[in-house]
Structure 1
Amino acid sequence: MSQRVRRTIVGITAAVIAFLSAGQPASAHGFTSTAYVDVAEGNEGHIRTKLGLEYDLFVVSAADYEDDDPLFKTGTAAFETGGAKEQSAALNAHAESAVRYVTERFSVTSDGRACTPTQVGDFTIGRREGVPYAGLLLDWACSERGDDLEVRSGLFPDGETYVKGTKTIVTYELDGRSGSAALDAGHPSFSIGQPWYERFWEFFRLGAEHLLSGIDHILFLLALIAGSRRLREIVLVATSFTLAHSVTFMLAALGLVDAPAGIVEPVIALSIAVVAGWHLWRLWRRRGHASDLETAGRGHFSLDRAGWIRLGVVFCFGLVHGLGFAGALGIDEAWSWTLLWSLLVFNVGIETVQLAIIAALFPLLIVLRHRAPTAGLWATGVISAGVSAMGLVWFVQRTFGI
């Protein structure tokens, strides 16, 4: 293969990886937040909503909304040096402005008419995914209680510039109906009692968007694709990865296992570097037998000892990626069949996009390997090198908080 062709392959591949990685923070899912809402029956026909809001984001957003509100000073001080008692005290001391921030961005309507909110009790503080969350209980009085109840959320919008892509996970048990919904800027509202297929689509879309926005998981898939020689091999490793991350995703999302993000995120980054580096090591080890690699994948396929080890490594790293998926979704509600259904659909969205990426890229790589074997080796080598380097960079950033 000519030097010109090699340079072209290297340049194109490096550009693709650089494009995918550009602007990605140490946590490759970016600065996002998830709000939680439980909707239930209240007294005298009223509706009760229990909201869970990320404490530090809530304090900064509500204070900025009020222009130099003292909530910012007391709230941020409590976040940096205080505990749950100090944090709840900071919110309760400025409850009027804090509640006003919420009620101007979150609403409940009945048959198209707005319901009136009233705070019940004080703010409370709990923890989700290792960070403090503020709990706010609101009682909604509706002039006429109809069958068409709509919940709308515009909490922590992109325009406030603190976070991007806020999700609001709503679970409800009302009027004999129960279910869940996922709200965001593109889909800010839903009607309680909506058809099952609409709820299915919401969580399916949420899972698909999560994988597409998680550049670390995409790079891990690229490493798997680059290091696989046959369709059967990529099917095996993809299945291993899918089974592993599905198990831990469900267990973590249901609150049965727990692992701090400070450990999970660096290990995910390390997994990217290791899986991509595995292929580079195999290329280097067989550098004197290029013909073997160029014809690899033709004829009968079977896993050798190294192949089985790679499969096991992918499975182990898949377990960690599942914890990352659950951490990003952030659900830790009490067990229910509705919650399980929502998690399964979310996972289906992840798997669909994962299979689509493999189906789109792996055949192209196979064609390149068969028509220009040496070019195929160079392409997979450059992809693996770039992915491995990115994984190592993220590992250092996430480990040392750079």
Structure 2
Amino acid sequence: MSQRVRRSFLWIIAAVIAILGLGQQPALAHGFTSTVYADVASTDGGRLRTTLQLEYDLFVVSAADAGHDDALFRAGTAAFDAGDSHAQAAALEAHAKSAVAYASRRFTVTSDGAACTAARAGGFTMGMREGVPYTTLRLDWRCPQGDDRAVRSGLFPDAEGYVKGTKTIVTYAVDGRSGSAALDAEHPSFSLGQAWYERFWEFFRLGAEHLLSGIDHILFLLALIAGSRRPREIVLAATSFTLAHSVTFMLAALGVVDVPSRIVEPVIALSIAVVAGWYLWRVWRRGDHATELEAPGQGHFSLDRAGWTRLGVVFCFGLVHGLGFAGALGIDEAWSWTLLWSLLVFNVGIEVVQLAIIAVVFPLLVVLRRRSPRAGLWATGALSAGVAVMGLVWFVQRVAGV
């Protein structure tokens, strides 16, 4: 490979890192995205009851804006700033017309395509999720006769300009059928009579999209690939990472662990910098021999001490990433038993995309290293440096709450 080609290759990598870095938000959940939780159940008289849990301050500003209700905005934001849950519920009660109208327009139920009518059931109540206030609103729906009942959610759309990528996680138990679904802007509705494979496909897609849209997780994976010296190492690292984040993902789903996102998110950013920096340290210490094994160990895996240490570090950080994956769906309550199998499929979606990235990128890296070891060293070094810088920037931003 000529010197000019090497320079061009490195410039391309640097440009990609710069573009990804400039276009990336600090990736803090609150204030950029939101998750709505909806439970649908049958009631006496053939009605459906939906129990909505909505992020309080977002609900207030969206409902006030949609209903041109400045009084709701003033009362609701004052109660939010005061941190008074009783005042927050009272603000919504005083302006229930605007609040219920917004929710029932954005979250709807139909029967064979005909609209069901909503009536509020009980008052607003307050609680906490992910460290922020959530309000609960119950609606009873009277539906025309029909077999195909569907739920649609357009709550807190991007067009409002307050958050992006809102998800609505629905659990349901209707007429002897139960399950769950994940709704977003591209897939806003589902049928309560959907087949099990349709429900699982939704969560598989959600898991795949979550990894693809999560630049921090992709950069962590690229750092693993860049620092792997043998195919065996990247396979073991990916397996270790998978096992680790699957453990904490399921523990969070079962309500066993609950770590605030203000802790999880900075550690995820730090893990990116550490894994990338680890490889840079090897390059600095061993130079052209950075991709060589120091003293291969005995046994089936044949890893040296550095390989085993790196595997342990990846496993520990994988535990934290699992909490991040769970946080993407707000999974921090024991009620997630009802979502258990769907969440497993969400996890499978993540893994399929992860393996696809490895299958594409690592063979290219192997070819480059074999054709020109020095070019491979510089390319992986440049990539790791860019990833390490981004990880440190995100770490500082998340610790500072930017």
Alignment TM class, shorter chain as reference: over 0.9
Q: Which amino acid aligns with 2:182?
A: A
Cα RMSD, aligned residues only: 1.9
Moved more, 94-103 or 110-119: 110-119
- The match for 1:313 is 313
- The match for 1:273 is 273
Q: Does the C-alpha gap of structure 1 residues 180 and 318 become closer, same or farther in structure 2, counting only changes over 3 Å? A: same
Q: Structure 1, unaligned stretches of length 5 or more? A: none
Partner SS, residue 33 of structure 2: coil
TM-score (norm 1): 0.94
- The match for 1:303 is 303
Deviations 1:252-284 (A, max 9, x none): 123210001111100000000000000000011
Deviations 1:348-378 (A, max 9, x none): 0000111111111000000000011100000
Deviations 1:97-117 (A, max 9, x none): 000001111111122221111
Once residues 87 and 24 of structure 1 are traced to their aligned partners in structure 2, the CA distance between those partners, rounded to angstroms, is 33
Deviations 1:178-222 (A, max 9, x none): 011111111111111201111111000000000111110000001
Deviations 1:142-184 (A, max 9, x none): 232x321111111111111111111111110010110111111
TM-score (norm 2): 0.94
Identity %: 75
Q: Does the C-alpha gap of structure 1 residues 45 and 252 become closer, same or farther in structure 2, counting only changes over 3 Å? A: same
Once residues 69 and 151 of structure 2 are traced to their aligned partners in structure 1, the CA distance between those partners, rounded to angstroms, is 30
- The match for 1:218 is 218
Once residues 182 and 341 of structure 2 are traced to their aligned partners in structure 1, the CA distance between those partners, rounded to angstroms, is 13
Aligned residues: 397
For the 8 Å contact 1:168–1:184, the answer to whether it is kept is yes
Once residues 8 and 284 of structure 1 are traced to their aligned partners in structure 2, the CA distance between those partners, rounded to angstroms, is 23
Once residues 36 and 337 of structure 1 are traced to their aligned partners in structure 2, the CA distance between those partners, rounded to angstroms, is 14
Once residues 309 and 123 of structure 1 are traced to their aligned partners in structure 2, the CA distance between those partners, rounded to angstroms, is 52
Partner SS, residue 269 of structure 2: helix
Once residues 9 and 318 of structure 1 are traced to their aligned partners in structure 2, the CA distance between those partners, rounded to angstroms, is 31
Moved more, 260-269 or 9-18: 9-18
Partner SS, residue 152 of structure 1: strand
- Correspondence list, 1:2-41, <5 A: 4-27=4-27, 31-41=32-42
Partner SS, residue 239 of structure 2: helix
Q: Does the C-alpha gap of structure 1 residues 14 and 303 become closer, same or farther in structure 2, counting only changes over 3 Å? A: same
Q: Which amino acid aligns with 1:88?
A: A
Partner SS, residue 284 of structure 1: helix
Partner SS, residue 27 of structure 1: coil
Quote how far apart the aligned CAs of 1:335 are.
Answer: 4.3
For the 8 Å contact 2:282–2:290, the answer to whether it is kept is no
Q: Which amino acid aligns with 2:72?
A: L
Moved more, 390-399 or 246-255: 246-255
Quote how far apart the aligned CAs of 1:25 are.
Answer: 1.7
- Determine if the alignment matches structure 1 residue 58 to structure 2 residue 59: yes
- The match for 1:364 is 364
- The match for 1:258 is 258
Once residues 51 and 68 of structure 2 are traced to their aligned partners in structure 1, the CA distance between those partners, rounded to angstroms, is 26
Partner SS, residue 374 of structure 2: helix
For the 8 Å contact 1:59–1:72, the answer to whether it is kept is yes
- The match for 2:142 is 141
Q: Structure 2, unaligned stretches of length 5 or more? A: none
Moved more, 14-23 or 4-13: 4-13
Once residues 393 and 364 of structure 2 are traced to their aligned partners in structure 1, the CA distance between those partners, rounded to angstroms, is 28
- Correspondence list, 1:2-401, <5 A: 4-27=4-27, 31-144=32-145, 146-287=146-287, 290=288, 292-293=289-290, 302-332=302-332, 334-335=334-335, 338-401=338-401
Once residues 338 and 364 of structure 2 are traced to their aligned partners in structure 1, the CA distance between those partners, rounded to angstroms, is 40
Once residues 352 and 174 of structure 2 are traced to their aligned partners in structure 1, the CA distance between those partners, rounded to angstroms, is 32
